[in-house]
């Protein structure tokens, strides 16, 4: 590329790995260290193709169904959560199970159990077909929990008019889009209540807030993340909703240099499943154009999660 109009690159913070993702990836690394390869991960441990490829090179085999792994295999359940019957199958087949489900996803699983037991009708706000929602809704057993993704779908709901009604949400949704769906639910069902604490995870919210602030100063925003990453996609949508052109790319090799024409300030963020090395590669690219990246800190993130109990016990007994 010849002369560029880009004068400034702003790196949003927080960005990249959240506590749940870091915990899940570390769980796989620790499991490899303890048992050696191969180990199996049910569903991609996190939705990022670079993370999955790096782990595959170390002997991690990603599967979608436990039937793809032999009896007695070492299996890690992904951060997105799993159906109850998967735990039953793993136990029946004497698999060594490490559960890397994000604690915030587990929270929603437990809420389903609790509120159904207390006689509530539950409405779930989420994306159709997303693995997290499939696991959460599986907690209901034979009870059907309606899933709504848009305000238009709320209008089509046919659940009668239950006295005890609550909504729960997928953890990786856009705060703004969810607000529209919640408003539609409250209009149709004034008695509906919210979960005691928001189900949308702090990391998702923090990254969206950072992108909103970044959009006020940027002509273009690059979001690093894989196409199947819900929270990364929401970051792109958040930037565009703020009136700034934004693109979701896996790494800097996917940058179309035509995007930079007449662009002076480029904002950069990354989804919660994205390794920092991918942002560092982008920084190096812009440095080659003579543009030094600057940190743009919106909020500090200090949350950490303890490792899975299964791993704690294994390490204790070693």
Residues with catalytic function: 132
Alpha-carbon span 168 to 125, nearest angstrom: 6
- Spatial neighbors of 228 by CB under 8 A, at least 6 apart, are 44, 47
Angle at 221 between CA 283 and CA 257, to 5 degrees: 65
Q: Within 10 A of 253 (CB to CB), how many other CB atoms are there? A: 8
Considering only CA atoms, which of 177, 155, 154 is closest in space to residue 167?
A: 154
Q: How far apart are CA 65 and CA 115, in angstroms?
A: 29
Q: What does the angle CA 176 – CA 232 – CA 248 come to, to the nearest 5 degrees? A: 110
Three-class DSSP category at 82: coil
Rounded to 5°, the CA angle 37-64-122 comes to: 130
């Amino acid at each position: 590329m010849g002369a560029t109009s880009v004068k400034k690159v702003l790196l949003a913070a927080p960005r990249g790995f959240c506590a749940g993702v870091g915990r899940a990836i570390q769980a796989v690394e620790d499991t490899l260290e303890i048992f050696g390869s191969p180990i199996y991960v049910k569903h991609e441990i996190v939705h990022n193709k670079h993370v999955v490829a790096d782990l595959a090179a170390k002997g991690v085999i990603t599967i979608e169904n436990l039937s793809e792994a032999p009896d007695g295999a070492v299996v890690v359940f992904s951060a997105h959560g799993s159906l109850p019957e998967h735990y039953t199958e793993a136990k029946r087949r004497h698999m060594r199970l490490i559960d890397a489900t994000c604690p915030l996803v587990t929270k929603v699983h437990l809420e389903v159990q609790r509120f159904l037991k207390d006689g509530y009708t539950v409405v779930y706000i989420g994306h159709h077909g997303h693995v997290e929602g499939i696991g959460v809704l599986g907690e209901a057993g034979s009870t059907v929990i309606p899933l709504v993704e848009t305000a238009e779908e709320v209008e089509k709901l046919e659940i009668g008019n239950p006295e005890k009604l609550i909504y729960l949400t997928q953890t990786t949704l856009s705060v703004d889009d969810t607000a529209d769906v919640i408003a539609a639910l409250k209009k149709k069902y004034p008695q509906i209540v919210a979960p005691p604490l928001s189900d949308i995870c702090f990391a998702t919210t923090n990254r969206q807030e950072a992108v909103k602030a970044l959009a006020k100063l940027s002509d273009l925003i690059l979001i690093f993340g894989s196409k199947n990453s819900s929270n990364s996609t929401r970051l792109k949508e958040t930037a565009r909703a703020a009136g700034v052109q934004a693109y979701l790319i896996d790494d800097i090799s996917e940058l179309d240099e035509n995007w930079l024409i007449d662009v002076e300030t480029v904002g950069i963020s990354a989804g919660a499943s994205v390794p920092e090395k991918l942002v560092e590669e982008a920084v190096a690219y812009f440095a080659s154009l003579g543009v030094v990246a600057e940190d743009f800190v919106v909020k500090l993130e200090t949350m950490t999660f303890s490792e899975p109990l299964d791993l704690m016990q294994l390490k204790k007994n070693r």
